[in-house]
Amino acid sequence: MSRMPVLIFAGALIWIACGDDSTPLSRGNPAQWSHYGADIGGTRHSAANQITPENVDDLEIAWVYHTGDVDHGQETLFGTSFQNTPIVVGDTLYLCTPRNRVVALDAETGVEKWVYDSEVDTTGAALVLCRGVSYWIDSAVPADAECRARVFMGTLDARMVALDAETGLLCEDFGESGVVDLSEGIGNRLPGEYGVTSPPLIMGDLLVTGALVLDNIRVDAPGGVVRAYDARTGSLRWSWDPLPPGQTFIETADESGQTVRYRRGTANAWSILAGDEKLGLVFVPTGNTAPDYYGGDREGLDYYSSSIVALDAETGEARWRFQTVHHDVWDYDVPSQPALFDFPMPDGRSIPAVVQATKMGHLFFLDRRTGEPLFEVEERPVPQGGVQGEQLSPTQPFPTHPAPIHPEAFTEEDIFGLTPWDRGACRDQIESLRYEGIFTPPSVEGWIQYPSYFGGTNWGSVAIDSERGLLVTNTTRMATVVRLIPRAEFEAAHQAAKDQGQAPPAWEPQMGTPFAMTRTFLLSPWGYPCLKPPWGTLVGIDLATGDQRFEVPLGTTRDLAPIPLGLELGVPNQGGPIVTETGLIFIAAAMDDYLRAFSAETGEELWRGRLPAGGQATPMTYRVRPDGRQFVVIAAGGHPLMQTRLGDSVVAFALPD
């Protein structure tokens, strides 16, 4: 046999043994995950193609890293919530822990490279979490220069830190020795009332950030200003104070003598921002004007509340805004990162678009140049008759396409119980409360909020698969019982508890308004939701038509008390999905401890991997080298308010080596 046939024969044997480019041993696309949402536009899409629908069932745990940062409520108010999505740049994975430690790991082995501890003050923080960090390279300095590559993290106690990506040391030329004080100009803060939980947006050499302001505390809460800082020096480049057009604010001092540079009580931007560098726009999802459930004294200050706002990246001026809820008194703030995509037109052209998911289960498709809807949005009459002093909006915006992915109402047939007694108890509870659909006005008698303030869709946002023309998102379907409490009743209850040496009721104060507030989930005596399942779903939407391609239950009851049965009902969830080039959707989020893979074509579940704790985070995926392994990584640390299992694990899955 000649040499050439031998080589061909040997090559054929290797091909048969190793398979084509879709097999575990193949070469393929290297893929980074350099932003919280994979890219600056928040698509949560990866070009990594080693893991396919055909081999995903072979996934196994490749490595686990323990951060050591978990608290079950002994040191913090409720405990830690590990909602982080790591990023990968080069061969390094970067993440932040709930108490603002930054960790750098070898992306292929999970071996620790360095740890930075911000020594954050978590006093008063309702939720102790950090969703992500950001990465920036200063192309103006030599490749070997100190702090050429930087990792930025906002903290729960209102700082922005800049670290050398190679060493984890503070970048001394940023702010004051590596730290910018985000409380500057904010004025008086209560413990835990003002801080950062989301990664900053990097636009060119700008670092843009909003901040979390605790809900329902007081009318004069810290302002919701969005600010841009120089990524090199930390100097303030611009600030956007979300005041209605025509209103201005003059710098003053508060009762404690602290400088107040930004109007207090305005809508904040606690979630994740997105950017379009070509258009020079920053897309900001906004929360509510303080407080959430009473707006009788806002005097138009909620012009930018519950909106997506496009800011000029150079100046911070508002280019346009689209409001998803008018005069929001339901805590229906916009919780998720806007996602950018090209909207396909019938003639083959495309429009630069942005989609905004909301807690109501509404998806608004907008031209990202102008904010104009790409599908018709109708202003529909909604129930009236709020409490004295309230000024409800007579109409609310409803998208016609896509159709709402959360039911907008429920009927008698939707009442659920595991037994006739359980269902009857739910029916009695429902009949005692006011309910007139999605925008039922708040009342002192109590009302049912459905969708709840939990969602619908929450901070997990959506994933965009442009090749398949698909949007993927997850929803929660839970009802909440909410009641406004007259101020005199609130104060009397607190004084009575004080006189008896007891803890006061866990009511949210809404100081400065006539009403405090209390809210609980609508549950049966057995602890299950009073409305029929699914209580959580995974949904696929056609990007061109807005039609629904699939909807499947997300999660089982396996890890839910009181009955730990693995019923495939779909359960409440927090976190979001990602999509890959090969047509896979990865998501955990549900209240059972699993990471799952679904088909992007059909929504069929293809694989699930057990996690050591709750997966209330959004996963990510990457492949460092063409001949390396593709990893799918998720933070498994649980969510204390959802009562899922708490932990400190970063879990990486891959195909067998």
Catalytic residues, which ones?
A: 331
Strands (E) across 50-100 are located at 60-66, 87-89, 92-96
Concatenated DSSP letters of 525-553? TTSSBSBPSPSEEEEEEETTT--EEEEEE
The structure tokens listed for 569 are 């009902």
352: CB partners within 8 A, 6+ apart:
276, 279, 340, 342, 343, 367, 368, 369
Task: Determine the Cα–Cα distance for residues 478 and 475; give it in Å rounded to an integer.
Answer: 10
Task: Determine the Cα–Cα distance for residues 599 and 605; give it in Å rounded to an integer.
Answer: 6
φ, ψ at 496 (rounded to 5°): -65, -40
Task: Determine the Cα–Cα distance for residues 628 and 30; give it in Å rounded to an integer.
Answer: 8
Residue 471: what residue type? Answer: L
Strand, helix or coil at 16?
helix
Q: Are 6 and 582 in contact (CB under 8 A)?
A: no
Residue 75: what residue type? Answer: E
Q: Are 112 and 173 in contact (CB under 8 A)?
A: no
DSSP code, position 463:
E
- The CA radius of gyration of the chain, in Å to the nearest whole number, is 25
Task: Determine the Cα–Cα distance for residues 441 and 513; give it in Å rounded to an integer.
Answer: 17
Task: Determine the Cα–Cα distance for residues 445 and 372; give it in Å rounded to an integer.
Answer: 39
Strand, helix or coil at 396?
strand
φ, ψ at 156 (rounded to 5°): -65, -25
Residue 566: what residue type? Answer: G
By DSSP bridging, strand 605-610 and strand 594-599 are: antiparallel
Q: Are 447 and 440 in contact (CB under 8 A)?
A: yes
Q: Are 60 and 610 in contact (CB under 8 A)?
A: no
- CB neighbours (10 Å) of residue 6? 10
Concatenated DSSP letters of 196-247? --SPPEEETTEEEE--EE-TTSBTTPPP--EEEEETTT--EEEEE--PPTT-
Question: What residues form DSSP beta bridges with 312?
Answer: 281
The structure tokens listed for 450 are 């459905």
Task: Determine the Cα–Cα distance for residues 493 and 168; give it in Å rounded to an integer.
Answer: 50
